[in-house]
Amino acid sequence: MRDFADITVTGLGVTTAVGQGKAAFAQGLFSGAHRFAVMDRPGRQLDTRFVGAQIPALESTSRLGARELRTVSFTGQVALATLEEAWTEARLDDFDAERIGLVVGGSNLQQRELVLAHDRHRAKPRFLRPSYGLSFLDTDLCGLCTAAFGIRGFAHTLGGASASGQLAIIEAAEAVSSGRVDVCVALGALADLSYWELLGLHSMGAMASEDCADAPELACRPFDRRRDGFVYGEACGALVIERRGARPGRQDTPYARLSGWSVQLDGNRNPNPSLDGETRAIRQALGRAGLAPEAIDYVNPHGTASLVGDETEVAALRACGLTHAALNATKSITGHGLTAAGAVEAVAVLLQMQHGRLHPTRNLTDPIDASLHWVRDEAVEAEVRHSLSLSMGFGGINTALCMSTCDS
């Protein structure tokens, strides 16, 4: 069995509707804040009233000038700002650029920008901005980030639907573990949805209905009996992953080590979850971490508020012997970041471990299983030495990630 004991997280960046940057995000989490409202970004509403959580303002990165930023999509701007925070904390400017990699989690990331471009130039397509030839490709984010930060190791995108953010972390950890690079940044990129994607997700029954527009603060309710599907939330997360000892003389204490992980497939094109796939992912991640289920102090579940998905996830936790662990649902505060969700939730886990506190779960008034150890109305103090974070994506993708304190 491969030894993952020296794979650590040394930098974090995060941008969400409830806070940009680690400090603001942590404050938003522990207070149970929200920014759920009827979404109003251009290209996101048609004759509909979809509820979501939008980033209120974005602090731009200093890596690009104003002229360059004019050609960068909202997804790209959020990626740069989020990566800047993680990069600066990990002090990567002084590291060998050829030994740094980048994995961007997500696909079809800039849909709203593309719809706006199509609408703007429908009558005069030959006036289309040349940068469109780059921006309709997800690899544009790789080019943007590697140019801005000087990354010279490798970079690629990785699509796993709502598991993309956690898949990016796992791929980055594998790259460091194998020696391909010494440091790798995992970026869960913002999926900028247009009204087309919102309509499609709504029509398949995955999203909360438009009926919640009159009380948007009550719309997002993972694991509650009154849940009605997921509520979208703009978000982006970045983690710097490196092998312990890769930089001799570095004194900073890592956030945690990535002690085990797993990716399991269901062989299923459809969006429905699989109890077998989820339990296999959990058990393999625990096995690779060398942890018995009772060693896990806290689980951060996928928890989208899907009618079937939440029930299946609770059944998986029961089947894997994790009913003793504390539970909360980060999406109840941030909304569902889709491609970014797994990375943002990993950041949330690490901040909770660092602060010794677990954030509340909004709108959990009638849990589907009240016997589990939910953190409900208020944040609670908790020592977390071993945690488990879960992500699932359409197409039968199941991932699990164990994070442990460096002294455990």
Q: How do residues 222-276 score in pLDDT, each as one tens digit?
A: 999 999 999 999 999 999 999 988 777 776 789 999 999 999 999 988 888 999 9
Question: What confidence tens digit (pLDDT) does each residue in 178-215 have?
Answer: 999 999 999 999 999 999 999 999 999 899 988 889 99
Q: Give the Cα separation of 62 and 129 in Å (integer).
A: 24
Pure H helices in 56-210: 66-69, 74-90, 111-121, 132-135, 139-149, 164-177, 195-203
Nearest of 189, 191, 220 to residue 50 by alpha carbon: 220
pLDDT of residue 63: 77
User: How many C-beta atoms surround the C-beta of residue 203 within 10 A?
Assistant: 9
What's the pTM value of the predicted model, to 2 decimals?
A: 0.96
Q: Give the Cα separation of 386 and 27 in Å (integer).
A: 22
CA angle 112, 117, 122 (to 5 degrees): 130
Domains belonging to the chain, first-starting first, are 7-243 (3.40.47.10), 256-404 (3.40.47.10)
Residue 2 has pLDDT above 70, yes or no: no
pLDDT of residue 248: 76
Q: pLDDT band at 293, cuts 50/70/90? A: very high
Specify whether the CB–CB gap between 288 and 4 falls below 8 A: yes
Question: What confidence tens digit (pLDDT) does each residue in 265-276 have?
Answer: 999 888 889 999
pLDDT of residue 251: 67
Residue 408 has pLDDT above 50, yes or no: yes
Bigger pLDDT: 46 vs 256: 256
